[in-house]
């Protein structure tokens, strides 16, 4: 139980820092992580049956969080969203493996579905700190990458 409280303090502190000092990518990710944590608390199974079968509510929440993190990763001019998306993909993968193999050992499912949260939160904190460092050093930090489609091409002089 202590590790849960420690994680919640780390999550709230990091997400609060990202919401307060981060750019748009950090704020979106922090809000999504906080919403996913709240949703997980609401939709998880009872303690005695938790992780015996696929946690459908957690699986859906994790898929939604992955979609948000993936969208941020595609557009943000940052490196940390790649790591956070990859880590969360491992969480989603745990649910998929449990769907494929219902005989998966319960503790393995628990660890694979929850352990990636710690480095995700740490990566968000480091990403926010680096954003603040770039702001101090340069006075600006572009949040989103430039478009790469035809709209980014200069008009032809013809």
In 3D space, the residue among 119, 117, 145, 120 whose CA is nearest the CA of residue 23 turns out to be: 145
pLDDT in tens, 104-148: 898 998 999 999 999 999 999 999 999 999 999 999 999 998 776
Q: For residues 82 and 61, what is the distance between their CA atoms, to the nearest angstrom?
A: 19
CB 18 within 8 A of CB 126: no
CB 69 within 8 A of CB 84: yes
Residue pLDDT tens, the chain, 158 long: 899 999 999 999 999 999 999 999 999 999 999 999 999 999 887 877 778 888 889 999 999 999 999 999 999 999 999 999 999 999 999 999 999 998 889 899 899 999 999 999 999 999 999 999 999 999 999 999 877 666 655 555 44
Give residue 130's pLDDT. Answer: 97
Give residue 156's pLDDT. Answer: 52
For the record, the structure tokens of 117 come out as 């949260």
Task: Give 125's contacts (C-beta < 8 A, 6+ positions apart).
Answer: 14, 17, 18
Give residue 158's pLDDT. Answer: 46
pTM, two decimal places: 0.88
Radius of gyration of the chain (CA): 18
Q: For residues 143 and 158, what is the distance between their CA atoms, to the nearest angstrom?
A: 34
Q: Is 158 exposed, middle or buried (0-12, 13-18, 19+ CB in 10 A)?
A: exposed
Q: For residues 110 and 129, what is the distance between their CA atoms, to the nearest angstrom?
A: 30
Residue 115 CB-half CA count within 13 A: 9
CB 64 within 8 A of CB 91: no
């Amino acid at each position: 139980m202590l590790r849960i409280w420690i994680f919640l303090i780390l999550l709230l502190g990091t997400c609060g820092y990202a919401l307060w000092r981060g750019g748009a990518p950090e704020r979106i990710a922090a809000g999504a992580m906080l919403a996913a944590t709240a949703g997980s608390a609401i939709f998880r199974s009872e303690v005695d049956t938790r992780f015996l079968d696929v946690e459908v509510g957690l699986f859906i929440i994790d898929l939604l969080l992955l979609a948000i993190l993936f969208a941020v990763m595609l557009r943000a001019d940052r490196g940390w969203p790649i790591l956070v998306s990859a880590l969360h993909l491992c969480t989603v993968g745990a649910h998929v493996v449990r769907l494929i193999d219902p005989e998966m050992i319960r503790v393995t499912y628990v660890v694979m579905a929850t352990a990636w949260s710690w480095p995700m939160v740490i990566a968000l904190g480091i990403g926010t700190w680096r954003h603040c460092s770039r702001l101090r050093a340069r006075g600006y930090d572009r949040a989103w990458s430039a478009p790469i489609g035809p709209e980014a091409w200069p008009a032809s002089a013809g």
